[in-house]
Chain A
Amino acid sequence: NAGVMQNPRHLVRRRGQEARLRCSPMKGHSHVYWYRQLPEEGLKFMVYLQKENIIDESGMPKERFSAEFPKEGPSILRIQQVVRGDSAAYFCASSPSEQGATEAFFGQGTRLTVV
Chain B
Amino acid sequence: KQEVTQIPAALSVPEGENLVLNCSFTDSAIYNLQWFRQDPGKGLTSLLLIQSSQREQTSGRLNASLDKSSGRSTLYIAASQPGDSATYLCAVRGSQGNLIFGKGTKLSVKP
Report whether chain A binds chain B: yes
Judge whether B46 is part of the interface by a CB distance below 8 angstroms: yes
Interface size class of A (residues with CB under 8 A): 20 to 34
Q: Report yes or no: B49 in contact with A106, Cβ–Cβ below 8 A.
A: no
Stretch among A13-21, A40-48, A67-75, A78-86 lining the B interface = A40-48
Which residues of B line the A interface, CB within 8 A?
A: 31-32, 34, 36, 41-46, 49, 51-52, 89, 91, 93, 95-104
Q: How far is the CA of A51 from the CA of B44 in the complex (A)?
A: 23
Q: For chain A residues 65-115, which have a beta carbon within 8 Å of chain B?
A: 91, 93, 99-101, 103-109, 111
Q: Report yes or no: B49 in contact with A43, Cβ–Cβ below 8 A.
A: no
Q: Report yes or no: A56 in contact with B98, Cβ–Cβ below 8 A.
A: yes
**Which chain B positions have C-beta within 8 A of A111?**
41
**Which chain A positions have C-beta within 8 A of B45?**
106
